[in-house]
Chain A
Amino acid sequence: MTVWIAIGATAVGCYLVKFLGLSAPAGLLERPLVRRLAALLPVALLAALTAQETFSEGRHLLLDAKAAGVAAAVVALLLRAPFLLIVAVAVAVTAGVRALGG
């Protein structure tokens, strides 16, 4: 039951922020500061999420096979690999390093 409460609260909350953003008055966007902030926030959030999912497990920082996988993804990205290949490279390298005992 507690799990369903968590699911319900998350679903309602996450939907409401999506809807609020889409329904905010258009005038809000015409202010340059708001526009620049809205453009820059995803950069900060995506960078933070990348670092969090790469270098942590729960509340602990760690450097493991995932870091090698994500590094390989960055190389694939610089070589202009297609999106699916970038993800596949990360998964394969992570699995490979783990198989080798990394």
Chain B
Amino acid sequence: MAKQRAQAGTRQTAPRRARGAPAEHAVRAVAPLPQRPDSAVIRDALGVGVAVGLSGFAFGVTSAGAGLSVWQSCALSLLVFTGASQFALVGALAAGGNPLTAAAGAFFLGVRNAFYGLRLSAVLGYRGAVRPLAAHWIIDETSAVALAQPDRRSARLGFTVTGLSLYVLWNLTTLGGALGARALGDTDAWGLDAAGPAVFVALLAPMLRSTVERCTAGLAVLLLLVTLPLVPAGVPVLLAALAAPVVLAVHGRRRRAPAPGEAIPEAPVPQERAGASHDAAKEDRA
């Protein structure tokens, strides 16, 4: 199964599904993919849910270090439940920022979840009372796992298992981290601040399947590094997001100008002669 899926992808070097990190390219595979066994979906979902869920410990520790109480740290993980926004908020509060400015930065970071939701609504097809509940679990990891599945059944299973395992663990480890922060002392000495970016790298890598994605990622990094010292916290990530429309616009313009030797679309063929002219067209080309 893993082999077939890898072949369906566009790159030989695409990381294997078994790694646990989501393979975005599977979403675009042209051939109808064979149904995945539930066990494979659950294994991938738990791999992501457990790994990222445990990093709630780093959040609990960071939050406590920023001066938030145990209750406040836990409230963030229970109610906000989107890691980057939570880290951004406690960072801004620790720096002595105005609460609404701090919240604005965290909110802007959370805007990306709207775009995940936009893609997920068609894939998951949730209706009625389930939808507002499912919305709370829409984050990088649940979206990546769900969107990597070949059909709705697997997508729902992947979304639910990732969401449940991540939500439960993230909240438990937030509590543990907040309580244990004093015992641990300097959390940076334990390298826990590298967990966040490592998670992002592992999520991003399978998405970089073509030049368009790689250019977007490169431009986003450039925009971020240039604007970071100049604008308020939270804004550089939003400016970097402009890399997506910019690369799309440039790419679209290039494609509109037909390259030399590019195939000219065939004219519609009258129904009764369809077979014959199709063969003729083939001979012409050969």
Contacts and interface: CB of A to CB of B under 8 A. Distances in A.
Contacts, number: 302
A74 B107 CA distance: 29
Given A6-B100, A22-B117, A46 B245 contact: no
B117 A77 contact: no
B220 A45 contact: yes
Contacts of A65: 191, 194
State the main secondary structure of chain A at its contact with B: helix
A76 B242 CA distance: 30
A90 B114 contact: no
Given A24-B117, A42-B207, A47-B216, A17 B107 contact: yes
Interface residues of B, number: 100
B224 A51 contact: yes
A41 B277 CA distance: 43
Interface of A: 2-7, 9-11, 13-15, 17-24, 26, 28-29, 33-56, 58-61, 65-66, 69-70, 73-74, 77, 80-84, 86-87, 89-96, 98-99
29 contacts: A6-B99, A6-B100, A10-B106, A13-B103, A14-B80, A14-B106, A18-B114, A18-B117, A21-B138, A22-B131, A42-B140, A43-B207, A43-B216, A43-B244, A44-B216, A46-B207, A47-B204, A48-B220, A51-B225, A56-B228, A59-B228, A70-B194, A77-B202, A77-B205, A83-B19, A86-B201, A91-B195, A94-B191, A99-B189
